[in-house]
Homo-oligomer: A and B are copies of this chain.
Amino acid sequence: MNKPVTIKDIAKKFKCSPSTVSRALNNHPSINEDTRRNLQEYAQKVGYQRNQVSLSLLNKKTATIGVIVPTINNYHESAIIEGIESGLQPLGYTLNICVTNEQYLLESEYVEKLLSNRVEGVFLSISQETYDSGHYEHLEQIKKRSIPLIFIDREYEGFATGSVTIDDYHGAFKAVEHLIKTGRKRIAHLKGPNGMAVAEERLRGYIECLKKHDLPVDEDLILNTNFKVESAIEPVTKLMNLPELPDAIFGVNDQVAIGAMKVIRDKGLNIPGDIAVAGFDNAPISAYIHPSLTSVARPGRQIGIEAAKIFTDYLQSSEALPSRNIVLPSELIVRESTAG
């Protein structure tokens, strides 16, 4: 790795002090016009690049923020990251992305590392294992240093500078209510992992909606998945073997809904004729598959943008702001898979 040219190198070459070089390159007014031009031209020629590391040390500002997410390989999560990026890129921030794979250990190591790297903010979508374990000491560390911590999608009370989530409860409620209003009476739910906030909220929306409409909540119709398309196959196959079939399935996301559709079709049943299907996320593909999938829209990009906004507002205000918790509305997009 070639040694990068430093200000000192240039100073030596020009027999002047580093201060002069620094000022010349920064267009400081108290530098002679000729000197400035010469130095700038030379710097340009030798490809001088200011060492941001030393600057960070000096200014105690790294212009870097950390983003910790369970996964990145998924429409919703990556949309969030693009949202954050688009919000912070104009301000010159760099994103340090960390993927926890839902593991507590990695999450906590990443927090250490980011703090050690002196990031100016942390955007965190808590991992499943962290939820399960109930360990939040790593977040204490962030709080102690009073670095802005913004929760994304998955919240945890009491630590945050802010959070951006969507209204999972009402989103699920609306989806199930739509199924009921189009005549469905025996609605199954493919739920997400236990203890995960978004999954629990959607489950709650499903249950409360059934109750509101005086429909029984049948444990046999509530089945586990892990958000992945494959994980829908086995539970839905089980559903298809019940003595009395459901007439609708509400999936915790589009992936499992699409998995469900496959099993239903393979069973020779018609969607939505025999069984209606609805999902959650409104992934772009959902509008194009057949039948197109009814889904609750979840504005990932918007979530990222709002989170970035919380961060920048926090920076700009001198005094401590109260925690700002934004809940974006979720919208039901009705398509063929639930047509009356």
Name A residues whose Cβ lies closer than 8 Å to a Cβ of B.
1-2, 4, 47, 49-54, 56-57, 62, 64, 71-75, 77-79, 81-82, 85-86, 89, 92, 94-99, 106, 112-113, 115-118, 120, 141, 144-147, 228-230, 255, 258-259, 261-262, 265, 284-285, 287-290, 292
Quick check: B99 and A96 within 8 Å, CB to CB?
no
When distances are taken between beta carbons in the complex, the residues of chain B under 8 Å from A290 are 261-262, 265, 289-290
Q: Compute how far the CA of A97 lies from the CA of B115 in the bound complex, rounded to whole angstroms.
A: 18
Shortest beta-carbon distance from A52 to chain B in Å:
4
Q: Compute how far the CA of A285 lies from the CA of B146 in the bound complex, rounded to whole angstroms.
A: 42
Number of copies: 2
Among B94, B145, B284, the residue within 8 A (CB) of A4 is: B145
Quick check: B99 and A117 within 8 Å, CB to CB?
no
The residue on B at minimum CB distance from A233 is: B288
Given contacts A53-B57, A118-B52, A285-B285, contact A78 B72 (CB under 8 A): yes
Quick check: B82 and A73 within 8 Å, CB to CB?
yes
Q: Compute how far the CA of A2 lies from the CA of B120 in the bound complex, rounded to whole angstroms.
A: 11
Among B53, B146, B285, the residue within 8 A (CB) of A2 is: B146
Shortest beta-carbon distance from A296 to chain B in Å:
18
The residue on B at minimum CB distance from A232 is: B288
Shortest beta-carbon distance from A181 to chain B in Å:
26
When distances are taken between beta carbons in the complex, the residues of chain B under 8 Å from A64 are 96
Among B51, B62, B115, the residue within 8 A (CB) of A118 is: B51
Q: Compute how far the CA of A259 lies from the CA of B289 in the bound complex, rounded to whole angstroms.
A: 8
When distances are taken between beta carbons in the complex, the residues of chain B under 8 Å from A92 are 113
Quick check: B113 and A94 within 8 Å, CB to CB?
yes
When distances are taken between beta carbons in the complex, the residues of chain B under 8 Å from A292 are 262
Q: Compute how far the CA of A71 lies from the CA of B301 in the bound complex, rounded to whole angstroms.
A: 13
Q: Compute how far the CA of A53 lies from the CA of B56 in the bound complex, rounded to whole angstroms.
A: 7
16 A-B residue pairs with Cβ-Cβ distance under 8 Å, sorted by A, are A1-B147, A4-B145, A47-B144, A51-B57, A51-B116, A52-B117, A53-B53, A72-B81, A72-B82, A73-B81, A75-B75, A77-B78, A97-B97, A229-B288, A259-B288, A265-B290
The residue on B at minimum CB distance from A263 is: B288
Q: Compute how far the CA of A147 lies from the CA of B154 in the bound complex, rounded to whole angstroms.
A: 38
When distances are taken between beta carbons in the complex, the residues of chain B under 8 Å from A141 are 47, 49
